[in-house]
Amino acid sequence: MNDMATTREPASLTRGLVDILNRPITAADRKRAALHLLDWIGCAVAGATTPPGVAMIAYGKTMPSGGCRTVGGVSLSARDAALINGSFGNVLEMDDLYRTALVHPGPVVVPAALAVAEEIGAPASALLDAVVRGFEAMIRVGRSVGPTHYRYFHNTATCGVFGSAAASASVLSLDAARTVDALGNAGTQASGLWQCRLEDTMSKQLHNGRAAQSGLIAAQLATHGFTGATLILEGPLGFYKGMCPDGWPEKLLQDVDAPWLIHGVSFKPWPACRHTHPTIDAVLALRDKVAPGDVQKIVVSTYRDAVAICDNTNPRTPVETKFSLQHASAVVLMRGVPTLADFDSDAALDPAVAALRAKVELREEASFTQPYPAHFGASVLMERRDGSTVSHDIPDALGDPENPLSIEQIRGKARMLLTSANYSTAEADSVIAAALALADGGAVADLTRQLR
């Protein structure tokens, strides 16, 4: 795709974005949206059983009841359901990803769209169209913010408000002017500082929940004529000036006639930070060539952000294990295809895993940094005790468009996550079928009543 193709000059960037969102949506686009909705459901249902999820559910029980069901079993108003459901989807680090925007659209856009659709009784087509449009808005903003923004801000949160607002506005059938208002008031709420990544906190879940809720509220306000800044993105006191010192505003409206960007979103197969995934893939490819007890040294060469974000030789908590290239390398070499249990506290404290982690060296490699974030790659070299070595390169992680998961693999991931949260296999398969049936006219209520 040529990033410089077909750029238009609207009255404002926000209005230009709204024009892009009004393009036709096809049956194939809706089927893709249903896959991402299913992927979010699996991640959220399992995420609701974790300590952050349990805390959010307890908070949700203090709120007034309403007609929107959360995956934590509480029925709330749409705005409160978006907050609670929005906090679950990224806990396990298995949420979807658009690489060049460094955003995870599903955990923000889907809970907002689903809450509004359930509250007003919208048909499945309206829900799926909203997911397509919400992904588009969030990704377009995300790929325009520039690298310094990501250094300090959680893109999924700051760009997510635009996605949830666009999705909610779509379900509510707002006209162009009211959608601009919704995006303006969403953008003024953009927030999410990365300090939480440096400490073992639950703030990242709050980021997503608030992004989902803030955009939804902005769209609901717009239905009552509540106005927002038209120049929220490019204005002298707007988003780019205040939060994106080396941003690329011109990228927002590029390729306006290209396919919907939801088709370029990656699905994540492993329960760890996406920056660890190419390394996990490489270690899996080497497992039949090196026994853990015969390893003298493991050298992981990857891109700069992966090293900066996931360098932790001694993780002690589930959050820390998910952001440790050393842990990912060791636990996968020892145990094979990674499961949820491989990134829990017991795995972090396993003496054998710890001993192997200590043998892992990280190196930033220019050949992987240069194509990042368009490509997430890594190379793993293992040196045996006799000095011989084996290595494997991964240019694109499993689940990326160049190395995609099959539909059956996506279904299998959802089934695994649902059954980990005590759904029976039959119950999980019913949820999966109801989610995918939305693209063929299935009812939203047939899906939500199966969530518990």
Question: Tens-of-pLDDT digits for all 452 residues of the chain?
Answer: 233 344 445 789 999 999 999 999 999 999 999 999 999 999 999 999 999 999 999 999 999 999 999 998 999 999 999 999 999 999 999 999 999 999 999 999 999 999 999 999 999 999 999 999 999 999 999 999 999 999 999 999 999 999 999 999 999 999 999 999 999 999 999 999 999 989 989 999 999 999 999 999 999 999 999 999 999 999 999 999 999 999 999 999 999 989 999 999 999 999 999 999 999 999 999 999 999 999 999 999 999 999 999 999 999 999 999 999 999 999 999 999 999 999 999 999 999 999 999 999 999 999 999 999 999 999 999 999 999 999 999 999 999 999 999 999 999 999 999 999 999 999 999 999 999 999 999 999 999 999 87
Q: In this predicted structure, what is the pLDDT of residue 9?
A: 58
Instruction: Please list the residue range(s) of the chain that carry CATH number 1.10.4100.10.
Output: 13-264
> What is the spatial distance between Cα 163 and Cα 96, in angstroms, rounded to a whole number?
14
Domain over 13-264 is classified CATH 3.40.50.300: no
Burial of 225 (0-12, 13-18, 19+ CB in 10 A): exposed
Q: In this predicted structure, what is the pLDDT of residue 6?
A: 45
Q: In this predicted structure, what is the pLDDT of residue 420?
A: 97
**Contact between 137 and 179 (Cβ < 8 Å):** no
CATH number of 274-394: 3.30.1330.120
Instruction: Please list the residue range(s) of the chain that carry CATH number 3.30.1330.120.
Output: 274-394
The answer to pTM > 0.85 is yes
> What is the spatial distance between Cα 435 and Cα 84, in angstroms, rounded to a whole number?
20
In this structure, what is the dihedral angle of CA atoms 129, 138, 36, 153, given to the nearest 10 degrees?
-160
Burial of 445 (0-12, 13-18, 19+ CB in 10 A): middle
